[in-house]
Amino acid sequence: DIIAIGDYTPRGGGLSKGMRRSMNDQSLIGRFKLVVQWVAARSGRIYIEWPEHASTRTCSACGSKLAEGLSPKVRSWDCPSCGSHHLRDENAAINGLKLVIHKDLPCSGQIPPVTRRHSARFTGSGIERTSLDATGKPSVTTTKVVELRRRRCESSGRSSVPHGASA
């Protein structure tokens, strides 16, 4: 088994490469990578860091790269060469997966296409879950905080009604 993580390093204006590497090692990302590396070694798995450079702006469908970079504000984009639509982070993850498979697991076959996407965000009054099917049609479900609290209480065998209140 292989565990692969992108080689992201924080960028800081005016900092040397060594200083950025030192900051990365001390940051939460750096510490997370060290823990994953330790767990992989302890459990007999291989740990790999793959180069993330340009993975966001490289089309995972046809391999062409956008000439200009993508602003972090751009969350999705369309490839000018093949027309496929990409979600920024998903596209980078697919490119990383392809890189690791082709480099470290040759002859392992094709990567199946993404057929369904899910996202969740806290809106303040509840959790909004969005699902996209293969055609891109969204399905939005919102669960109120009160409903989440009731479900949690019922699953643990407690009453969802606050102590002293009547139902």
**pLDDT per residue over 34-58, tens digit each?**
999 999 999 999 999 999 888 999 9
**pLDDT per residue over 63-74, tens digit each?**
999 988 888 888
One domain, residues 14 and 88: yes
pTM of the model as a whole: 0.62
Domain that residue 122 falls in: 117-156
Pairing of strands 2-6, 46-50: parallel
Core vs surface per residue 81-118: b (16+ CB within 10 A) or e: eeeeebbbeebbbbbbebbbbeeeeeeeeeeeeeeeee
Three-class secondary structure of residue 50 per DSSP: strand
One domain, residues 7 and 63: yes
Residue 132 makes CB contacts below 8 A (sequence gap 6+) with 116, 117, 118, 138, 139
What Å distances lie between residue 79 and 50, 65, 89, 94, CA to CA? Answer: 23, 8, 15, 15
110, part of any domain: no
22, part of any domain: yes
53, part of any domain: yes
What Å distances lie between residue 129 and 44, 150, 163, CA to CA? Answer: 36, 18, 31
One domain, residues 25 and 100: yes
Q: Could you tell me how far CA 121 lies from the centroid of its own chain? A: 14
One domain, residues 46 and 88: yes
Look at residue 73 in the predicted model and tell me its pLDDT.
Answer: 84
**pLDDT per residue over 57-110, tens digit each?**
999 889 999 988 888 888 888 899 998 888 888 889 889 988 888 888 777 777
Look at residue 162 in the predicted model and tell me its pLDDT.
Answer: 58
Closest by Cα among 95, 102, 104 to 48? 104
One domain, residues 98 and 128: no
Phi and psi at 47, nearest 5°, equal -110, 130
Strands (E), 97-159: 117-122, 126-132, 138-144
One domain, residues 74 and 140: no
